[in-house]
A = this chain, B = another copy of it.
């Protein structure tokens, strides 16, 4: 549980930067080498590599070096962990809103019936 929480810290932290989100967006379309990833960014290579390391440490992406080429790819499982956390919270408050709506409807129905009884007298 503590581990899972630390993972979520790292996952959400990794996503809290526009450059890292852009890397994730590019990798959603398929694996890419570090050189390919660097092209759209006007950024020194060490800075880019630092972002890639943060993403790798979080588990959002994996990298593999063959010869001189390091290839990055997205890791679906880590991504799903962030999504399922968000979905769980949303589920809780949506059920709460549903209960509130049902309660409001029951109050309205009571008032309506009360009004009808009054008119009948």
Asked if residues B93 and A87 are in contact (CB atoms below 8 Å), the reply is: no
Smallest beta-carbon distance A27→chain B, Å: 8
Measured between beta carbons, the chain B residues less than 8 angstroms from A21 are 5, 8, 85
Asked if residues B25 and A89 are in contact (CB atoms below 8 Å), the reply is: yes
With A21-B8, A29-B93, A93-B29 in contact, is A83–B74 under 8 Å at CB? no
Closest 8 CB pairs of A and B: A12-B16, A13-B16, A28-B92, A12-B15, A28-B93, A28-B89, A5-B18, A12-B12
Which residues of A come within 8 Å of B, CB atoms?
5-6, 8-13, 15-18, 21, 24-25, 28-30, 74, 76, 79, 82-83, 85-87, 89-90, 92-93, 96
